[in-house]
Amino acid sequence: MSSHEQCYRSLASPAKPLSGTTSYSTQIPRKLPPRATITMSKFTQVNVPATGKTISVPTGLFINNEFVPSVDSQETIQCINPATEEPICSVVAGSAKDVDVAVAAARSALKTTWGKNVSGFERSRLLNKLADLIERDAQELAELEALNNGKPVKIARDFDIGDSVGCLRYYAGWADKIVGQSIDIDNKTKLAFTKHEPIGVCGQIIPWNYPIMMWAWKVAPALACGCTIVMKPSEFTPLTALKLSELVVEAGFPPGVVNTVPALGSVGGAALAAHPGVDKIAFTGSTVTGRKIMEAAAKSNLKKVSLELGGKSPQLIFESADIDQAANWAALGILYNTGQDCTAGSRVYVQDSIYDKFLQTLIEKAKALNIGNGFDEKSGGGPVVSKVQYDKIWSYIDAGKQEGAKCVLGGEKRPGKGYFVDPTIFTEIKPGMKIVKDEIFGPVLSVGRFKTEEEAINLANDTTYGLGAGLHSNDAGQCMRVSQALEAGTVWVNQYNLLYNNVPFGGKKQSGIGRELGSYALDEYTSVKAIQWNYGEKLDWPL
Amino acid sequence: MPSTFSYQFDTPSHKGITEFSTGLFINGEFVDGSENSTIDVINPATGKLITKISQGTPKDVDRAVAAAQHAFETSWGLKCPGAERAKLMNKLADLMEEHEDELAAVEALDNGKTFYWAKNADLKGAIDCIRYYAGWADKIQGKTIETNDGKLVYTRHEPLGVVGQIIPWNFPLLMLSWKIGPALATGNAIVLKPSEFTPLSALLTAKLAKEAGFPPGVFNVVNGYGATVGAAIAEHMDIEKVAFTGSTLVGRKIMEAAAKTNLKKVTLELGGKSPNIIFDDADLEAAVNWAAFGIFWNQGQTCCAGSRIFVHAKIYDEFLHLFTEKAKQVKVGDPFHPDSKQGPQVSNAQFDRIMSYIDSGKDEGATVHHGGVRVGDEGYFISPTIFTDTRPDMKIVKEEIFGPVGVVIKFDDDEDVIRQANDTVYGLACSVFSQNINRALETAHKLKAGTAWVNCANMLHASVPFGGFKQSGIGRELGDYTAVKAVHVNFGHQWSVA
């Protein structure tokens, strides 16, 4: 039973503050002057060229609700604007020792002000408050996201941030609904019940493709369940996680509940994954890194692991489909977020009878997308995130050409600055080609063909991945058959790439372990304890 | 145009002005009743008029149902996503929090409960409840069910439509929140009838709901009497469900009306005569405190009041002594005075009813061990009252008194006390006090009640279901509506009456 008798508790002890629901609540600065209480070891003014505005961004580590310098690292991470290739600013690159400090802060909060010491009602209140603050600052956060990641401001604001606010509110609603079961053993002597307790200190490592949204997906369920967090944002896009950390303080979370350590993956990520004081690690990123994290967990304290990894997701276009609509969804599938999407529908297989018509339509749709600077209102997509990613995508495009696929759209570099890659479509593909097997994480689509439903299913499932899959058909029986046969964590029928905060998301096969979103994500952040209670059975001894 | 109620509080607990319409709240507007008649609202601390409110009629219920139906079909229900419903509900909770003191003061003025309790129990509980259900609004899930390869079966949990809600006068705002929280979260449109004795906090809440931005018609308030407006709701052919909290007598009538009309769904949260069993191995001081809270809280006007206190013979004398001391400490007086622990009963009718039970107890031969008298000569104040030397067939042992009147009964056999405790038509709640957790749990499991409190009393949480066995009701409120018995085990919470 919770130590927290919510409704009427304060009445039992009139000496306590009337509004205080728990003893700790007086320690939480509810309406603090945020910036005054934050010790700014480092703080920089970032210029937003398109608007002439500046955004103040903390550049230190965020530990115990304060921005602090590294214990021992002199290194910095330089953040680049991928649309211009110019530096934005630098932030501290945290070390393994910094991770130790952050983990200790998270442990201390778990034992004193968070975890089992705070009611779900209070966690809910704080999460809702955080959501309100992010909504308030949506424009500024969107501009910072656009600067660092490249995506259009309007998309960052209306989709990434809008969905993130929704995600925090959704899990705010779960915080006071974490329930176990009571289980009758027999009616006379014994009962058992389960408690779903917070798993503890969670390391969370998030990627650069949706920096704010992946932050929200990780933070919201963890906090709802009462976990504390050491967050490592991607070294390519650490700025919005630091900016969000300011809002964590303003919302009134106790110190140490959320900590942010910007660091290189090989340093901070590795330290978190191997840390004996971290109870759980949640990672979104590449399958290569996911394996390393799981290995580190296996070799250290067997921490719980959830992984949301790569994909090579297929979309099947059957002859009964609405071709125009299917082409729209296929274009969205591969081009949204400039293809930097773990669920990107990067393999499209089209039934022979409609192949030519569909391909023609799809090419027109792909051409219609305007990829440009994220601060340009006309842009529907931005540059890819980094030079590394840009080079990787181009090496795949080159490989596609070399291996004999036919490039029917794109495939030519733009002159000038910025990591822009235009929509690229390959046809005449073969199963062994790199562009068909590997995750490219760019706007590069492979289009193949099939004759029968069975062949389509075999092609779709011929991959080590299993994150998403789409099918387009107006035959209800076929929709049902194929959706059941596809090996993926999410199957979209006559749509693609749409996610909802209340629908679980995650990978089958080598696309991941565990689920995010929905009520399923709560399982990733709780430990189930079975309490077995004897109130009547006498034990005879010896047996 | 309905008139506006404007009131200046100038009390030690609260100073400030409140202002809201006294009309009916239909389709997002405050309006007059169809007959332009009014109902007097009386201050139970003085017996004097506070204000007059518009009186609703069956015609007004028709109007409200039509508005609710329209809202349900156009702007609410399946037309409004769960996340949006959650947002509006959270906004309402925020506004209630912002107006916490004002709402608490209105509640204390109208109901007679102390401002302290109104704020800390009723308001806090109501705000928590609305927020809790706001959280459910985007989590209404059906199931998919495995059948065979060629089939897909799934369930949808759809809103019912227009629901009627009839709430009592003992916790006006808290009961309002228990009713509207789950109904709004699931997308139903509401026609709510507050008690004619305590309509004011519902009207102030209607004003806040409008400010929160609910579409017109989603939440309607029709003031009026049970025999007219309540009956019209219970009989209405376009109301899909009626939820009622109040007496068992009226509950039966509502269920009958539903049976005779459109077979609307019915949930009833009714009376109780809840037993409180104190074993000889209880922490006596704690048990005394909880027992006093159990029966005297809210002037005893609590459906789950622990009104039958069974005390083990070994500790009976000591318990009675300590319990009497506690009863003496309950200061009865002005609800707005910070020292007051108990206010007046809600109405003259309730005052008379309780006094007649006290008389019947005396007539039937029970001993008034403490109290049993009116306090002061103005308002409806009654002293905390303890009866001893009772018999099982006495009215004060069998019937719900709904006042600060407890009977203390001696027992010396565990099995027999369970039999006595269950010897009632009611089954709302029960309490068990014992330091031996085995004895406590075994007893809690054997008692026939929807809520069992172990080493505590009157604890309610938005997340824990509440409702009655036997003739204490049908259905559950709070929580996720799936559990049947809530066992509250206390092993740390010390209770002390100030």
Place of tokens 């996610």: A499
| Min Cα separation A12/chain B (Å) | 6
3-state DSSP call for residue B56?
coil
The mean pLDDT of A471-497, rounded to a whole number, is: 94
In whole angstroms, give the CA distance from residue B70 to residue B85: 17
pLDDT value of residue A133: 98
- Residues B450, B477 contacting (CB under 8 angstroms): no
pLDDT at residue A7, as a whole number = 31
pLDDT greater at residue B264 or residue A104: A104
pLDDT confidence band for B346 (50 / 70 / 90): very high
In the predicted model, is pLDDT for residue A507 greater than 50? yes
CB B60 within 8 A of CB B185: no
At residue A23, the pLDDT reads 32
Q: Which residue has the tokens 């967050």?
A: A231
B462 with A9: Cβ contact below 8 A: no
Evaluate if residue B211 carries a pLDDT over 80: yes
Which is catalytic among the residues A66, A246, A308, A439?
Answer: A308
Place of tokens 């606010």: A165
What mean pLDDT is predicted for residues B190-212? Answer: 98
Q: Reply yes or no on whether A308 is catalytic.
A: yes
Residue B228: DSSP 8-state? I
What's the rounded Cα separation, in Å, for the pair B410 and A102? 59
What number is the average pLDDT over the span A470-491?
A: 94
Rounded CA-CA distance A437/A311 in Å is 10
pLDDT in tens, A180-226: 988 887 777 888 899 999 999 999 999 999 999 999 999 999 999 99
Give the 3-state secondary structure of residue A471.
strand
| Sequence-ordered list of residues with C-beta below 8 angstroms from that of A181, at least 6 positions apart, any chain | A193, A194
Q: A-side interface with B, Cβ within 8 Å? A: 1, 3, 5-14, 18, 21, 120-121, 124-125, 128, 166, 169-170, 172-177, 179, 182, 187-188, 191, 477, 480, 484, 501-502, 519, 533-536
Size of interface A-B (CB pairs under 8 A): 111
Tokens read off for B83: 């996340």
- Min Cα distance B136 → chain A (Å) is 6
Q: Which of B116, B135, B496 sits opposite A12 (nearest CB)?
A: B496
Q: Of A236, A245, A222, A200, give the one whose Cα is nearest residue A103.
A: A200
Taking the Cβ of residue B153 and every Cβ of chain A, the question of whether any pair is shorter than 8 Å is answered with no
Distance CA B104, CA A441 (A): 58
DSSP code, position A56: E
Best probe of the A interface among B113, B171, B493, by most A CBs < 10 A, is: B493
Q: Do B135 and A175 touch (CB under 8 A)?
A: yes
Coil vs helix vs strand at A372: coil
Residue A527, pLDDT > 60, answer yes
pLDDT above 90: residue A30? no
Tokens of B426: 């009611």
**At residue B90, what are phi and psi to the nearest 5 degrees?**
-65, -35
Residue B480 CB partners (closer than 8 Å, separation 6+): A177, A179, B136, B465
- Kind plus residue range of the DSSP H or E element containing B310: strand B308-312
Phi-psi category of residue A328: left, alpha or beta, with phi > 0 → left and psi -120 to 50 → alpha: alpha
What burial letters (b/e) apply to A464-493, b meaning 16+ CB within 10 Å?
ebbbbbbbbbeeeebbbbbbebbbbbbbbb
Q: How far is B253 from chain A (nearest CA, A)?
A: 32
pLDDT band, very low/low/confident/very high, at A469 (cuts 50, 70, 90): very high
DSSP assignment of B419-450: HHHH-SS--SEEEEE-S-HHHHHHHHHHS--S
CB under 8 Å, gap of 24 or more: what pairs does B371-376 form? B371/B327, B371/B404, B375/B332, B375/B333, B376/B333
d(CA A154, CA A497): 18
* DSSP reduced 3-state for A193: strand
**Which residues in chain B touch residue A187, judged by CB atoms under 8 angstroms apart?**
445
Residues B141, A533: C-beta atoms closer than 8 Å: no
In angstroms, rounded to a whole number, what is the distance separating the alpha carbons of residues A247 and A129? Answer: 9
Which residue's entry shows tokens 């069998």?
A: B398
Q: What pLDDT, in 10s, does the model give residues B39-59?
A: 999 999 999 999 999 999 999
Q: Answer yes or no: is pLDDT of A259 > 80.
A: yes
Residue A320 · residue A333 · CB < 8 Å: no
d(CA B18, CA B2): 16
Mean of per-residue pLDDT scores for chain B: 94
Neighbouring residues of A266: CB distance < 8 A, sequence distance ≥ 6: none
Closest-approach residue (CA) in chain A for B439: A535
Mutation choice for B interface testing from A3, A4, A11 by most B CBs within 10 A: A11
Chain Cα centroid distance, residue B235: 23
| DSSP class per residue in B375-424 | -SSSS--B--EEEES--TTSHHHHS---SSEEEEEEE--HHHHHHHHH-S
Question: Which pLDDT score, from 0 to 100, does residue B470 have?
Answer: 87
What DSSP character marks residue A201? E
- Output the average pLDDT for chain A: 91
Q: Inter-chain contact B117–A11, Cβ cutoff 8 Å?
A: yes
For the segment B332-336, the average pLDDT, to the nearest whole number, is 97
Distance from CA of B444 to the nearest CA of A (A): 11
Instruction: Please name the member of B116, B139, B437 whose beta carbon is closest to the beta carbon of A535.
Output: B437
Residue A59, SS3 per DSSP: coil
Quickly state the pLDDT bin for A135 (edges 50, 70, 90): very high
Comparing CA positions, the residue from A300, A297, A346, A284 lying closest to residue A513 is: A284
Task: Provide the b/e sequence for A71-101 (b: ≥16 CB within 10 Å).
Answer: eebeeebebbbbbbeeebbebbbbbbebbeb
DSSP code of A508?
Answer: S
Three-state secondary structure call for residue A195: strand
pLDDT per residue as tens digits for the range B166-183:
999 999 999 999 999 999
Residue in chain A closest to B140 (alpha carbons) equals A502
In this structure, what DSSP letter does residue A40 have?
Answer: B
Q: What is the pLDDT of residues B76-121, one digit of tens each?
A: 999 999 999 999 999 999 999 999 999 999 999 999 999 999 999 9
Contact call for residues B369 and B401 (beta carbons, < 8 A): no
For residue B340, give every residue at least 6 positions away whose Cβ sits within 8 Å of its Cβ, in sequence order, or none: B114, B116, B331, B332, B333, B334
Q: Tokens in use for B350? A: 């309730």
| Yes or no, beta carbons of B149 and A13 under 8 Å apart | no
Q: What is the pLDDT of residues B445-487, one digit of tens each?
A: 899 999 999 999 998 888 888 888 888 988 888 764 333 345 5
B135/A10 touch (CB, cutoff 8 Å), yes or no = no
Q: How far apart, in whole angstroms, are the C-alpha atoms of residue B419 and residue B417?
A: 5
Average pLDDT over residues A133-146: 98
Q: Which residues of A30-52 are buried (b: 16+ CB within 10 A; e: fewer)?
A: eeeebeeebeeebebebebebee
Cβ atoms < 10 Å from Cβ of B373: 12
B243: left (phi over 0), alpha (psi -120 to 50) or beta: beta
Q: Closest to B138 (Cβ–Cβ): which among A5, A502, A534?
A: A502
Can you give the pLDDT at residue A540? 82
Q: How far apart are CA B191 and CA B221, in angstroms?
A: 6
B 326-355 residues inside an 8 A Cβ radius of A = none
Closest chain A C-alpha to B121 CA, distance in angstroms = 6
B 401-460: CB under 8 A from A: 437-438, 441-442, 445, 456, 458-460
Q: Is the CB of residue B157 less than 8 Å away from at least one CB of chain A?
A: no
Q: Distance (Å, rounded) from C-alpha B202 to C-alpha B192?
A: 9
- Reported ipTM exceeds the 0.90 cut: no
Please report where in the chains the tokens 């996503």 appear, as a residue.
B81
Query: Any chain A CB within 8 A of the CB of B14?
Result: no
Give backbone dihedrals phi and psi of B485, rounded to 5 degrees, phi first: -120, 130
The DSSP call for residue A509 is: G
Higher per-residue confidence, A401 vs A2: A401
The C-alpha atoms of residue A141 and residue A56 are separated, in whole angstroms, by 11
- Does pLDDT of A21 surpass 60? no
Instruction: Examine residue A443 and say whether the peptide bond preceding it is cis (omega within 30 degrees of 0).
Output: no
CB neighbours of residue B491 within 10 Å: 11
Q: What is the pLDDT of residue B473?
A: 86
The C-alpha atoms of residue A25 and residue B435 are separated, in whole angstroms, by 31
- CB < 8 Å to A3, chain B: 492
Active site residues of B: 269
Q: Where are the beta strands (DSSP E) in A199-317?
A: 201-205, 228-232, 258-260, 280-284, 304-308, 314-317
> Structure tokens of B10?
């100038």
**Considering only CB atoms, which chain A residues are within 8 Å of B458?**
8
Contact status of B148 with chain A (Cβ, < 8 Å): no
